[in-house]
Structure 1
Amino acid sequence: MERWLNRVAVVTGASSGIGAAVVKYLANNGMVTVGLARRKERVEGLRDEVKDEAKARIHAIKCDVTNETEVIAVFKEIESNYGPIAVLVNNAGVVRFSDMVKEGNSQDLRDVLDTNVYGIVWSTREAFRSMKANGGDGHVFVMNSLAGHMVPIIPNFSLNMYPASKHAVTALTEIYRQEFFNNKTKVKITSLSPGAVVTELAGAAATVTPDAAVLTPENIADALIYCLQTPPNVQIHELTIRPVGERF
Protein backbone atom coordinates (compact mmCIF):
# COMPACT_ATOMS: atom_id res chain seq x y z
CA MET A 1 0.00 0.00 0.00
CA GLU A 2 3.04 2.29 0.03
CA ARG A 3 2.14 4.02 -3.26
CA TRP A 4 -1.27 4.96 -1.83
CA LEU A 5 -0.14 6.34 1.54
CA ASN A 6 -1.78 9.70 2.34
CA ARG A 7 -3.53 9.81 -1.02
CA VAL A 8 -7.27 10.39 -1.29
CA ALA A 9 -9.85 7.61 -1.58
CA VAL A 10 -13.57 8.21 -2.05
CA VAL A 11 -16.16 5.59 -1.09
CA THR A 12 -19.82 5.96 -2.05
CA GLY A 13 -22.56 4.31 -0.01
CA ALA A 14 -20.22 4.46 2.97
CA SER A 15 -22.67 4.45 5.87
CA SER A 16 -23.05 0.69 6.32
CA GLY A 17 -22.19 -2.77 5.05
CA ILE A 18 -19.43 -3.11 2.47
CA GLY A 19 -18.96 0.65 2.13
CA ALA A 20 -18.37 1.11 5.86
CA ALA A 21 -15.93 -1.81 5.95
CA VAL A 22 -14.01 -0.39 2.97
CA VAL A 23 -13.75 3.04 4.62
CA LYS A 24 -12.21 1.47 7.73
CA TYR A 25 -9.81 -0.73 5.77
CA LEU A 26 -8.58 2.13 3.58
CA ALA A 27 -8.07 4.48 6.55
CA ASN A 28 -6.26 1.78 8.52
CA ASN A 29 -4.00 1.25 5.51
CA GLY A 30 -2.94 4.89 5.33
CA MET A 31 -5.33 6.53 2.88
CA VAL A 32 -7.19 9.80 3.43
CA THR A 33 -10.67 8.36 3.09
CA VAL A 34 -13.81 10.34 2.26
CA GLY A 35 -17.06 8.47 2.79
CA LEU A 36 -20.10 9.69 0.85
CA ALA A 37 -23.55 8.81 2.13
CA ARG A 38 -26.97 10.21 2.80
CA ARG A 39 -26.45 9.30 6.46
CA LYS A 40 -23.27 11.31 7.01
CA GLU A 41 -23.30 10.81 10.79
CA ARG A 42 -22.88 7.05 10.39
CA VAL A 43 -19.70 7.56 8.39
CA GLU A 44 -18.37 9.89 11.08
CA GLY A 45 -19.06 7.16 13.64
CA LEU A 46 -16.62 4.86 11.85
CA ARG A 47 -13.77 6.81 13.43
CA ASP A 48 -14.49 4.91 16.64
CA GLU A 49 -13.82 1.61 14.86
CA VAL A 50 -10.33 2.21 13.44
CA LYS A 51 -6.82 2.51 14.82
CA ASP A 52 -6.13 5.72 16.73
CA GLU A 53 -3.74 7.03 14.10
CA ALA A 54 -6.35 6.40 11.37
CA LYS A 55 -9.21 8.35 12.97
CA ALA A 56 -8.15 11.69 11.48
CA ARG A 57 -8.02 10.15 7.99
CA ILE A 58 -11.79 9.50 7.86
CA HIS A 59 -14.00 12.28 6.52
CA ALA A 60 -17.71 12.28 5.77
CA ILE A 61 -19.76 14.24 3.23
CA LYS A 62 -23.48 13.97 2.65
CA CYS A 63 -24.15 13.04 -0.96
CA ASP A 64 -26.91 11.50 -3.06
CA VAL A 65 -25.10 9.84 -5.97
CA THR A 66 -28.25 9.86 -8.08
CA ASN A 67 -28.08 13.67 -8.19
CA GLU A 68 -25.56 14.61 -10.89
CA THR A 69 -25.28 18.24 -9.79
CA GLU A 70 -24.65 17.22 -6.20
CA VAL A 71 -21.99 14.69 -7.22
CA ILE A 72 -20.12 17.30 -9.29
CA ALA A 73 -20.12 19.74 -6.37
CA VAL A 74 -19.03 17.14 -3.81
CA PHE A 75 -16.07 15.92 -5.87
CA LYS A 76 -14.87 19.48 -6.34
CA GLU A 77 -15.18 19.97 -2.58
CA ILE A 78 -13.09 16.85 -1.97
CA GLU A 79 -10.33 18.03 -4.30
CA SER A 80 -10.33 21.48 -2.72
CA ASN A 81 -10.21 20.23 0.88
CA TYR A 82 -8.20 17.00 0.67
CA GLY A 83 -6.40 16.87 -2.67
CA PRO A 84 -6.58 14.93 -5.96
CA ILE A 85 -8.57 11.71 -5.95
CA ALA A 86 -6.50 8.55 -6.33
CA VAL A 87 -9.03 5.80 -5.57
CA LEU A 88 -12.78 5.64 -6.11
CA VAL A 89 -14.94 2.86 -4.72
CA ASN A 90 -18.38 2.88 -6.34
CA ASN A 91 -20.25 1.03 -3.63
CA ALA A 92 -23.62 2.80 -3.39
CA GLY A 93 -26.42 0.47 -4.40
CA VAL A 94 -30.06 -0.36 -3.80
CA VAL A 95 -32.30 -3.34 -4.43
CA ARG A 96 -36.06 -3.56 -4.68
CA PHE A 97 -38.00 -6.80 -4.36
CA SER A 98 -41.39 -6.03 -5.93
CA ASP A 99 -42.26 -7.76 -9.21
CA MET A 100 -41.36 -5.68 -12.26
CA VAL A 101 -44.79 -6.45 -13.74
CA LYS A 102 -46.55 -4.95 -10.71
CA GLU A 103 -48.45 -1.76 -11.43
CA GLY A 104 -47.37 1.42 -9.68
CA ASN A 105 -43.74 0.38 -9.19
CA SER A 106 -42.16 3.04 -11.41
CA GLN A 107 -40.21 4.68 -8.61
CA ASP A 108 -38.70 1.36 -7.51
CA LEU A 109 -37.45 0.74 -11.05
CA ARG A 110 -35.98 4.23 -11.36
CA ASP A 111 -34.33 4.04 -7.91
CA VAL A 112 -32.35 0.94 -8.88
CA LEU A 113 -31.10 2.31 -12.20
CA ASP A 114 -30.41 5.79 -10.85
CA THR A 115 -28.29 4.47 -7.97
CA ASN A 116 -26.69 1.31 -9.35
CA VAL A 117 -25.91 2.64 -12.84
CA TYR A 118 -26.05 6.43 -13.02
CA GLY A 119 -24.52 6.78 -9.55
CA ILE A 120 -21.44 4.99 -10.90
CA VAL A 121 -21.41 7.02 -14.10
CA TRP A 122 -21.54 10.43 -12.37
CA SER A 123 -18.98 9.51 -9.69
CA THR A 124 -16.52 7.81 -12.04
CA ARG A 125 -16.59 10.71 -14.49
CA GLU A 126 -15.68 13.19 -11.75
CA ALA A 127 -13.03 10.98 -10.14
CA PHE A 128 -11.40 10.22 -13.51
CA ARG A 129 -11.23 13.90 -14.33
CA SER A 130 -9.20 14.40 -11.14
CA MET A 131 -7.00 11.36 -11.76
CA LYS A 132 -6.19 12.34 -15.34
CA ALA A 133 -5.30 15.91 -14.33
CA ASN A 134 -2.98 14.71 -11.57
CA GLY A 135 -0.55 12.19 -12.98
CA GLY A 136 -2.88 9.90 -14.91
CA ASP A 137 -2.87 7.05 -12.41
CA GLY A 138 -5.47 5.84 -9.97
CA HIS A 139 -7.82 2.94 -9.32
CA VAL A 140 -11.60 2.80 -9.79
CA PHE A 141 -13.63 0.01 -8.22
CA VAL A 142 -17.22 -0.86 -9.09
CA MET A 143 -19.22 -3.01 -6.70
CA ASN A 144 -20.80 -5.58 -8.97
CA SER A 145 -22.45 -8.88 -8.00
CA LEU A 146 -22.80 -12.46 -9.12
CA ALA A 147 -26.16 -11.14 -10.35
CA GLY A 148 -24.16 -9.09 -12.86
CA HIS A 149 -23.11 -12.31 -14.61
CA MET A 150 -26.19 -14.50 -14.10
CA VAL A 151 -29.76 -14.17 -12.83
CA PRO A 152 -30.17 -16.07 -9.53
CA ILE A 153 -33.40 -18.01 -9.18
CA ILE A 154 -35.07 -17.66 -5.79
CA PRO A 155 -38.43 -19.49 -5.70
CA ASN A 156 -41.43 -17.14 -5.46
CA PHE A 157 -39.14 -14.12 -5.13
CA SER A 158 -38.14 -11.38 -7.59
CA LEU A 159 -34.89 -9.42 -7.61
CA ASN A 160 -36.63 -6.79 -9.72
CA MET A 161 -34.22 -4.55 -11.72
CA TYR A 162 -31.19 -5.51 -9.62
CA PRO A 163 -29.67 -8.17 -11.96
CA ALA A 164 -30.26 -5.91 -14.98
CA SER A 165 -28.50 -3.03 -13.26
CA LYS A 166 -25.56 -5.24 -12.33
CA HIS A 167 -25.28 -6.63 -15.87
CA ALA A 168 -24.97 -2.97 -16.89
CA VAL A 169 -22.13 -2.62 -14.37
CA THR A 170 -20.32 -5.55 -16.03
CA ALA A 171 -20.53 -3.75 -19.38
CA LEU A 172 -19.51 -0.43 -17.83
CA THR A 173 -16.37 -2.06 -16.42
CA GLU A 174 -15.12 -2.97 -19.89
CA ILE A 175 -16.10 0.39 -21.37
CA TYR A 176 -14.16 2.16 -18.63
CA ARG A 177 -11.10 -0.05 -19.25
CA GLN A 178 -11.16 0.98 -22.90
CA GLU A 179 -11.77 4.66 -22.19
CA PHE A 180 -9.07 4.90 -19.51
CA PHE A 181 -6.61 3.48 -22.06
CA ASN A 182 -7.87 5.65 -24.92
CA ASN A 183 -7.33 8.71 -22.71
CA LYS A 184 -3.66 7.70 -22.33
CA THR A 185 -3.83 7.12 -18.58
CA LYS A 186 -2.80 4.24 -16.35
CA VAL A 187 -5.98 4.33 -14.27
CA LYS A 188 -7.12 0.82 -13.34
CA ILE A 189 -10.68 -0.48 -13.21
CA THR A 190 -11.76 -3.45 -11.09
CA SER A 191 -15.19 -5.02 -10.82
CA LEU A 192 -15.81 -6.87 -7.54
CA SER A 193 -18.60 -9.45 -7.84
CA PRO A 194 -19.56 -10.96 -4.49
CA GLY A 195 -22.08 -13.67 -3.83
CA ALA A 196 -24.41 -13.21 -0.87
CA VAL A 197 -23.07 -10.71 1.66
CA VAL A 198 -24.59 -9.99 5.07
CA THR A 199 -25.62 -6.32 4.75
CA GLU A 200 -28.65 -4.11 5.29
CA LEU A 201 -29.15 -4.21 1.52
CA ALA A 202 -29.55 -8.00 1.50
CA GLY A 203 -31.80 -8.13 4.55
CA ALA A 204 -35.02 -9.08 2.79
CA ALA A 205 -33.41 -11.73 0.62
CA ALA A 206 -31.69 -13.27 3.64
CA THR A 207 -35.04 -13.91 5.27
CA VAL A 208 -36.09 -15.90 2.21
CA THR A 209 -32.96 -18.08 2.23
CA PRO A 210 -31.92 -18.15 5.92
CA ASP A 211 -29.57 -21.13 5.49
CA ALA A 212 -27.59 -19.63 2.60
CA ALA A 213 -23.79 -19.48 2.75
CA VAL A 214 -22.77 -15.84 3.09
CA LEU A 215 -19.80 -13.49 3.06
CA THR A 216 -19.13 -10.59 5.42
CA PRO A 217 -18.45 -6.98 4.38
CA GLU A 218 -14.93 -7.43 5.74
CA ASN A 219 -14.34 -10.26 3.24
CA ILE A 220 -15.05 -7.84 0.39
CA ALA A 221 -12.96 -5.02 1.89
CA ASP A 222 -10.05 -7.42 2.26
CA ALA A 223 -10.35 -8.41 -1.42
CA LEU A 224 -10.38 -4.76 -2.43
CA ILE A 225 -7.17 -4.08 -0.52
CA TYR A 226 -5.60 -7.08 -2.27
CA CYS A 227 -6.48 -5.61 -5.69
CA LEU A 228 -5.20 -2.19 -4.65
CA GLN A 229 -1.79 -3.63 -3.75
CA THR A 230 -1.09 -5.14 -7.17
CA PRO A 231 1.90 -3.71 -9.10
CA PRO A 232 1.22 -0.76 -11.46
CA ASN A 233 1.30 -3.07 -14.50
CA VAL A 234 -1.25 -5.54 -13.07
CA GLN A 235 -4.98 -4.95 -13.43
CA ILE A 236 -7.52 -7.30 -11.85
CA HIS A 237 -10.39 -6.55 -14.18
CA GLU A 238 -12.95 -8.84 -12.55
CA LEU A 239 -12.82 -10.56 -9.16
CA THR A 240 -15.60 -12.96 -8.24
CA ILE A 241 -15.93 -13.71 -4.53
CA ARG A 242 -18.19 -16.56 -3.46
CA PRO A 243 -18.76 -18.04 -0.01
CA VAL A 244 -17.89 -21.70 0.30
CA GLY A 245 -21.10 -23.69 -0.03
CA GLU A 246 -23.07 -21.16 -2.05
CA ARG A 247 -25.67 -23.05 -4.10
CA PHE A 248 -26.44 -20.83 -7.09
Structure 2
Amino acid sequence: MPAIEGKVALVTGVSSGIGAAIVKELVEQGMLVAGLARRIDRVEALAKSLVGKKGKLLPIKCDVTSQDDVKKAFATAEKTLGNISVLVNNAGVLKAASLTKEGALDGVQLMMSTNVVGLATCAREGLLSMVKNKTEGTIININSVAGHFFLPFHGVGAYNASKFAVTALTEGLRNEVSAIKANIRVTSLSPGLVESEMSCQFQKEGEEGLFTEYEMLPASDIADCVTFILKSPQRMNVSTGEIHLKIVASKK
Protein backbone atom coordinates (compact mmCIF):
# COMPACT_ATOMS: atom_id res chain seq x y z
CA MET A 1 0.00 0.00 0.00
CA PRO A 2 1.75 3.21 -1.12
CA ALA A 3 2.07 6.06 1.37
CA ILE A 4 0.28 9.27 0.45
CA GLU A 5 1.48 11.36 3.40
CA GLY A 6 3.49 14.34 2.22
CA LYS A 7 2.32 14.09 -1.37
CA VAL A 8 0.63 17.00 -3.14
CA ALA A 9 -2.97 16.90 -4.31
CA LEU A 10 -5.03 19.49 -6.16
CA VAL A 11 -8.80 19.30 -5.67
CA THR A 12 -11.36 21.49 -7.44
CA GLY A 13 -14.75 22.61 -6.16
CA VAL A 14 -13.90 22.36 -2.46
CA SER A 15 -16.15 25.04 -0.97
CA SER A 16 -18.80 22.48 0.04
CA GLY A 17 -20.12 18.94 -0.36
CA ILE A 18 -17.95 16.25 -1.92
CA GLY A 19 -14.98 18.55 -2.50
CA ALA A 20 -14.83 19.70 1.11
CA ALA A 21 -15.15 16.10 2.34
CA ILE A 22 -12.32 14.95 0.06
CA VAL A 23 -10.06 17.77 1.26
CA LYS A 24 -10.70 16.91 4.92
CA GLU A 25 -9.89 13.25 4.33
CA LEU A 26 -6.70 13.93 2.36
CA VAL A 27 -5.40 16.48 4.88
CA GLU A 28 -6.10 14.05 7.72
CA GLN A 29 -4.11 11.46 5.76
CA GLY A 30 -1.18 13.89 5.72
CA MET A 31 -1.39 15.21 2.17
CA LEU A 32 -0.57 18.76 1.10
CA VAL A 33 -3.74 19.89 -0.65
CA ALA A 34 -4.37 22.82 -2.97
CA GLY A 35 -8.11 23.47 -2.69
CA LEU A 36 -9.67 25.39 -5.57
CA ALA A 37 -13.04 27.15 -5.51
CA ARG A 38 -14.71 30.40 -6.46
CA ARG A 39 -15.98 30.97 -2.91
CA ILE A 40 -12.53 31.40 -1.42
CA ASP A 41 -13.84 32.53 1.98
CA ARG A 42 -15.29 29.06 2.54
CA VAL A 43 -12.02 27.38 1.61
CA GLU A 44 -10.10 29.67 3.96
CA ALA A 45 -12.48 28.76 6.78
CA LEU A 46 -12.00 25.08 5.96
CA ALA A 47 -8.22 25.54 6.04
CA LYS A 48 -8.42 27.09 9.51
CA SER A 49 -10.51 24.16 10.75
CA LEU A 50 -7.82 21.73 9.57
CA VAL A 51 -4.87 23.39 11.32
CA GLY A 52 -3.12 20.79 13.46
CA LYS A 53 -3.89 17.85 11.16
CA LYS A 54 -1.07 15.83 9.59
CA GLY A 55 -1.36 17.64 6.26
CA LYS A 56 -2.46 21.12 5.27
CA LEU A 57 -4.80 22.94 2.90
CA LEU A 58 -3.74 25.79 0.62
CA PRO A 59 -6.83 27.79 -0.46
CA ILE A 60 -6.71 29.05 -4.06
CA LYS A 61 -9.45 31.10 -5.68
CA CYS A 62 -10.25 29.64 -9.09
CA ASP A 63 -13.10 29.47 -11.57
CA VAL A 64 -12.50 26.32 -13.61
CA THR A 65 -14.35 27.82 -16.57
CA SER A 66 -11.44 30.27 -16.93
CA GLN A 67 -8.32 28.75 -18.50
CA ASP A 68 -6.22 31.59 -17.10
CA ASP A 69 -7.52 30.93 -13.59
CA VAL A 70 -6.73 27.23 -13.90
CA LYS A 71 -3.18 27.79 -15.20
CA LYS A 72 -2.44 30.28 -12.40
CA ALA A 73 -3.88 27.91 -9.79
CA PHE A 74 -1.69 25.00 -10.91
CA ALA A 75 1.38 27.25 -10.99
CA THR A 76 0.64 28.52 -7.46
CA ALA A 77 0.10 25.00 -6.15
CA GLU A 78 3.38 23.74 -7.61
CA LYS A 79 5.39 26.74 -6.43
CA THR A 80 3.97 26.61 -2.90
CA LEU A 81 3.51 22.88 -2.22
CA GLY A 82 5.66 21.03 -4.76
CA ASN A 83 5.04 18.68 -7.67
CA ILE A 84 1.41 17.61 -7.99
CA SER A 85 0.87 13.85 -7.88
CA VAL A 86 -2.93 13.79 -7.45
CA LEU A 87 -5.67 15.71 -9.25
CA VAL A 88 -9.29 15.35 -8.16
CA ASN A 89 -11.59 16.97 -10.70
CA ASN A 90 -14.62 17.58 -8.51
CA ALA A 91 -15.99 21.00 -9.54
CA GLY A 92 -19.42 20.64 -11.09
CA VAL A 93 -22.88 22.15 -11.23
CA LEU A 94 -26.40 20.81 -11.63
CA LYS A 95 -29.13 23.12 -12.87
CA ALA A 96 -32.66 22.14 -13.81
CA ALA A 97 -32.78 23.00 -17.49
CA SER A 98 -35.99 22.03 -19.24
CA LEU A 99 -35.68 22.96 -22.89
CA THR A 100 -39.41 23.71 -22.91
CA LYS A 101 -38.77 26.82 -20.80
CA GLU A 102 -37.26 30.20 -21.63
CA GLY A 103 -33.76 30.70 -20.21
CA ALA A 104 -32.93 27.00 -19.99
CA LEU A 105 -29.90 27.41 -22.23
CA ASP A 106 -28.16 29.51 -19.60
CA GLY A 107 -28.14 26.48 -17.33
CA VAL A 108 -27.04 24.20 -20.16
CA GLN A 109 -24.14 26.48 -21.01
CA LEU A 110 -23.04 26.73 -17.36
CA MET A 111 -23.08 22.94 -16.93
CA MET A 112 -21.11 22.32 -20.11
CA SER A 113 -18.59 25.06 -19.30
CA THR A 114 -18.04 23.72 -15.78
CA ASN A 115 -18.65 19.98 -15.91
CA VAL A 116 -17.02 19.36 -19.29
CA VAL A 117 -14.70 22.16 -20.43
CA GLY A 118 -13.57 23.03 -16.89
CA LEU A 119 -12.82 19.40 -16.14
CA ALA A 120 -10.93 19.00 -19.43
CA THR A 121 -8.88 22.13 -18.73
CA CYS A 122 -7.85 20.91 -15.27
CA ALA A 123 -7.10 17.42 -16.61
CA ARG A 124 -4.84 18.93 -19.27
CA GLU A 125 -2.92 21.04 -16.76
CA GLY A 126 -2.64 18.13 -14.33
CA LEU A 127 -1.39 15.79 -17.03
CA LEU A 128 1.15 18.31 -18.37
CA SER A 129 2.45 18.90 -14.84
CA MET A 130 2.82 15.21 -14.04
CA VAL A 131 4.51 14.44 -17.36
CA LYS A 132 6.89 17.41 -17.03
CA ASN A 133 7.93 16.37 -13.53
CA LYS A 134 7.91 12.62 -14.29
CA THR A 135 5.48 12.11 -11.44
CA GLU A 136 3.67 8.88 -10.59
CA GLY A 137 0.27 10.45 -10.75
CA THR A 138 -3.43 9.83 -10.31
CA ILE A 139 -6.27 11.80 -11.90
CA ILE A 140 -9.74 11.19 -10.48
CA ASN A 141 -12.70 12.70 -12.30
CA ILE A 142 -15.74 12.93 -10.03
CA ASN A 143 -18.41 11.81 -12.45
CA SER A 144 -21.94 10.58 -11.65
CA VAL A 145 -24.16 7.59 -12.26
CA ALA A 146 -25.80 10.10 -14.62
CA GLY A 147 -22.74 9.61 -16.80
CA HIS A 148 -23.69 5.97 -17.41
CA PHE A 149 -27.48 5.91 -17.71
CA PHE A 150 -30.29 8.41 -18.13
CA LEU A 151 -31.89 9.76 -14.96
CA PRO A 152 -35.70 9.69 -15.25
CA PHE A 153 -36.20 13.15 -13.75
CA HIS A 154 -37.62 16.20 -15.49
CA GLY A 155 -35.12 18.88 -16.46
CA VAL A 156 -31.87 16.95 -15.90
CA GLY A 157 -31.24 15.85 -19.50
CA ALA A 158 -28.50 18.45 -20.03
CA TYR A 159 -26.82 17.44 -16.78
CA ASN A 160 -26.97 13.83 -18.01
CA ALA A 161 -25.32 14.93 -21.25
CA SER A 162 -22.51 16.71 -19.41
CA LYS A 163 -21.75 13.63 -17.33
CA PHE A 164 -21.85 11.30 -20.33
CA ALA A 165 -19.21 13.64 -21.74
CA VAL A 166 -17.13 13.18 -18.58
CA THR A 167 -17.27 9.40 -19.09
CA ALA A 168 -16.00 9.78 -22.66
CA LEU A 169 -13.34 12.32 -21.71
CA THR A 170 -12.01 10.06 -18.98
CA GLU A 171 -11.72 7.11 -21.36
CA GLY A 172 -10.01 9.34 -23.91
CA LEU A 173 -7.58 10.70 -21.33
CA ARG A 174 -6.68 7.18 -20.21
CA ASN A 175 -5.92 6.22 -23.82
CA GLU A 176 -3.76 9.31 -24.29
CA VAL A 177 -1.82 8.58 -21.10
CA SER A 178 -1.23 5.03 -22.29
CA ALA A 179 -0.05 6.26 -25.69
CA ILE A 180 2.67 8.44 -24.15
CA LYS A 181 3.54 5.72 -21.61
CA ALA A 182 3.10 8.03 -18.63
CA ASN A 183 2.85 6.45 -15.18
CA ILE A 184 -0.48 8.12 -14.49
CA ARG A 185 -3.71 6.45 -13.43
CA VAL A 186 -7.07 7.84 -14.58
CA THR A 187 -10.33 7.08 -12.76
CA SER A 188 -13.96 7.99 -13.30
CA LEU A 189 -15.66 7.91 -9.88
CA SER A 190 -19.45 7.98 -10.24
CA PRO A 191 -21.55 8.53 -7.11
CA GLY A 192 -25.30 8.44 -7.02
CA LEU A 193 -27.25 11.01 -4.99
CA VAL A 194 -25.02 12.71 -2.44
CA GLU A 195 -25.92 15.10 0.36
CA SER A 196 -24.75 18.44 -1.02
CA GLU A 197 -25.84 21.90 -2.09
CA MET A 198 -26.16 20.51 -5.61
CA SER A 199 -28.86 18.00 -4.68
CA CYS A 200 -30.52 20.06 -1.94
CA GLN A 201 -31.34 22.89 -4.37
CA PHE A 202 -34.27 20.75 -5.54
CA GLN A 203 -35.67 20.43 -2.00
CA LYS A 204 -37.68 23.29 -0.51
CA GLU A 205 -38.43 23.28 3.20
CA GLY A 206 -41.80 21.73 3.93
CA GLU A 207 -42.22 20.47 0.38
CA GLU A 208 -41.38 17.31 -1.49
CA GLY A 209 -38.36 17.74 -3.77
CA LEU A 210 -37.18 15.99 -6.88
CA PHE A 211 -35.20 13.37 -4.93
CA THR A 212 -37.33 13.19 -1.77
CA GLU A 213 -37.98 9.45 -1.96
CA TYR A 214 -34.27 8.58 -2.01
CA GLU A 215 -31.83 8.29 0.88
CA MET A 216 -28.66 10.14 -0.06
CA LEU A 217 -25.03 9.18 0.41
CA PRO A 218 -22.93 11.27 2.80
CA ALA A 219 -20.07 13.07 1.06
CA SER A 220 -17.62 11.29 3.36
CA ASP A 221 -18.36 8.01 1.52
CA ILE A 222 -16.98 9.52 -1.69
CA ALA A 223 -13.91 10.79 0.17
CA ASP A 224 -13.29 7.26 1.47
CA CYS A 225 -13.40 5.93 -2.10
CA VAL A 226 -10.84 8.53 -3.20
CA THR A 227 -8.52 7.43 -0.40
CA PHE A 228 -8.91 3.78 -1.40
CA ILE A 229 -7.95 4.61 -5.00
CA LEU A 230 -4.92 6.64 -3.93
CA LYS A 231 -3.67 3.98 -1.54
CA SER A 232 -3.94 1.23 -4.13
CA PRO A 233 -0.63 0.19 -5.76
CA GLN A 234 0.38 2.45 -8.66
CA ARG A 235 0.21 -0.56 -10.98
CA MET A 236 -3.50 -0.86 -10.14
CA ASN A 237 -5.90 1.45 -12.00
CA VAL A 238 -9.52 1.70 -10.87
CA SER A 239 -10.85 2.74 -14.25
CA THR A 240 -14.49 3.20 -13.25
CA GLY A 241 -16.17 3.17 -9.86
CA GLU A 242 -19.92 3.49 -9.37
CA ILE A 243 -21.26 4.06 -5.86
CA HIS A 244 -24.83 2.84 -5.50
CA LEU A 245 -24.96 2.15 -1.74
CA LYS A 246 -28.13 3.56 -0.14
CA ILE A 247 -29.37 5.21 -3.32
CA VAL A 248 -32.16 2.76 -3.96
CA ALA A 249 -33.37 2.75 -0.36
CA SER A 250 -36.76 4.42 -0.49
CA LYS A 251 -38.05 6.39 2.49
CA LYS A 252 -41.64 5.51 1.63
Q: TM-score range by the shorter chain?
A: over 0.9
> Matches of 1:208 and 1:51 in 2, distance apart?
38
Matching residue of 1:22: 22
Asked whether the equivalents of residues 132 and 185 of structure 1 are also in contact (C-alpha less than 8 Å), the reply is: yes
- Alpha-carbon shift at residue 44 of structure 1 (Å): 1.8
Segments of 5+ residues of structure 1 without an aligned counterpart are none
Superposition TM-score, scaled by structure 2 size: 0.92
- Alpha-carbon shift at residue 108 of structure 1 (Å): 1.3
> Matches of 1:98 and 1:166 in 2, distance apart?
14
Matching residue of 2:74: 75
Matching residue of 1:11: 11
Listed as ranges, the matches of 1:79-94 within 5 Å are 79-94=78-93
Asked whether the equivalents of residues 86 and 137 of structure 2 are also in contact (C-alpha less than 8 Å), the reply is: yes
> Matches of 1:76 and 1:179 in 2, distance apart?
23
- Alpha-carbon shift at residue 247 of structure 1 (Å): 6.5
Matching residue of 2:32: 32
> Matches of 2:139 and 2:217 in 1, distance apart?
22
Amino acid at match of 1:67: S
Matching residue of 1:167: 164
Listed as ranges, the matches of 1:151-230 within 5 Å are 151-154=150-153, 157-206=154-203, 207-230=209-232
> Matches of 1:143 and 1:245 in 2, distance apart?
17
Segments of 5+ residues of structure 2 without an aligned counterpart are 204-208
Asked whether the equivalents of residues 143 and 167 of structure 2 are also in contact (C-alpha less than 8 Å), the reply is: yes
Identity %: 38
Asked whether the equivalents of residues 10 and 35 of structure 2 are also in contact (C-alpha less than 8 Å), the reply is: yes
What are the Cα deviations for residues 81-114 of structure 1, in whole angstroms up to 9, with x where unaligned? 2111110000000011130232333321110000
Matching residue of 1:46: 46
What are the Cα deviations for residues 182-212 of structure 1, in whole angstroms up to 9, with x where unaligned? 1121100111111110100111345223231
Asked whether the equivalents of residues 191 and 238 of structure 1 are also in contact (C-alpha less than 8 Å), the reply is: yes
Asked whether the equivalents of residues 37 and 43 of structure 2 are also in contact (C-alpha less than 8 Å), the reply is: yes
- Alpha-carbon shift at residue 4 of structure 1 (Å): 2.4
> Matches of 2:166 and 2:216 in 1, distance apart?
22
Amino acid at match of 1:149: H
What SS is found at the alignment partner of 2:65?
coil
More deviation in 114-123 or 92-101? 92-101
Asked whether the equivalents of residues 196 and 243 of structure 1 are also in contact (C-alpha less than 8 Å), the reply is: no
Superposition TM-score, scaled by structure 1 size: 0.93
> Matches of 2:211 and 2:114 in 1, distance apart?
25
Asked whether the equivalents of residues 213 and 243 of structure 1 are also in contact (C-alpha less than 8 Å), the reply is: no
Matching residue of 2:206: none
Cα 1:5–1:168, aligned 2, differ >3 Å: closer, same or farther? same
Asked whether the equivalents of residues 4 and 30 of structure 1 are also in contact (C-alpha less than 8 Å), the reply is: yes
Amino acid at match of 2:155: S
More deviation in 170-179 or 203-212? 203-212
Instruction: Could you list the structure 1 runs, at least 4 aligned residues long, displaced by more than 3 angstroms after superposition.
Output: 47-51
Asked whether the equivalents of residues 192 and 239 of structure 1 are also in contact (C-alpha less than 8 Å), the reply is: yes
> Matches of 2:135 and 2:182 in 1, distance apart?
5
> Matches of 2:249 and 2:16 in 1, distance apart?
26
Asked whether the equivalents of residues 22 and 221 of structure 1 are also in contact (C-alpha less than 8 Å), the reply is: yes
> Matches of 2:60 and 2:167 in 1, distance apart?
28
Aligned residues: 245
- Alpha-carbon shift at residue 2 of structure 1 (Å): 4.6
Listed as ranges, the matches of 1:97-136 within 5 Å are 97-136=96-135
Give the aligned CA root-mean-square deviation in angstroms: 1.7
What SS is found at the alignment partner of 1:53?
coil
